[in-house]
């Protein structure tokens, strides 16, 4: 699969990178000259006001990123979700089979 480079021009960037609530803010080149808002998802306390037509980039693809993206989209924003690697999507039936093969009730060997 060929890689594609896409240039996005958001007015706001939300970092949603971290594990179990521990904020991780990577060093992003050019951030010092960025004129829009920038913060980590741990600082997100919900959308304040109307974001109609505002361009927002959410960096990360965990639960917080999806929650923030949904809230911003519902407030009218144009949201771009950025993640490092591809997403794996599997069917519910496949998930059940995988879980059944990896987990057993206590006391069963």
Structural domain includes residue 31: yes
Which ranges constitute the DSSP H helices of 26-62? none
Model's pTM, two decimal places? Answer: 0.62
For the stretch 2-33, pLDDT in tens is: 677 777 777 766 666 656 667 777 787 888 89
Query: What are the b/e assignments for 69-98, b being 16+ CB within 10 Å?
Result: beebbebebebbbeeeeeeeeeeeeeeeee
pLDDT at 99: 67
For the stretch 30-78, pLDDT in tens is: 888 988 888 888 888 899 889 999 999 998 888 888 899 999 999 999 9
Q: How far apart (Å, rounded) are the C-alpha atoms in residues 100 and 6?
A: 40
Structural domain includes residue 109: no
What total number of domains does the chain contain?
A: 1
Structural domain includes residue 81: yes
Structural domain includes residue 108: no
């Amino acid at each position: 699969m060929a890689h594609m480079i896409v240039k996005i021009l958001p007015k706001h960037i939300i970092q949603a990178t971290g594990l179990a609530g521990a904020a991780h803010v990577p060093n992003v080149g050019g951030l010092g000259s960025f004129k829009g808002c920038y913060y980590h998802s741990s600082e997100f306390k919900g959308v304040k006001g109307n974001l109609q037509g505002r361009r927002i980039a959410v960096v990360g693809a965990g639960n917080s990123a999806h929650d923030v993206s949904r809230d911003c989209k519902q407030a009218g924003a144009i949201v771009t979700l950025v993640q490092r690697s591809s997403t794996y999507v599997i069917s519910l039936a496949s998930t059940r089979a995988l879980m059944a093969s990896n987990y057993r009730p206590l006391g069963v060997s």
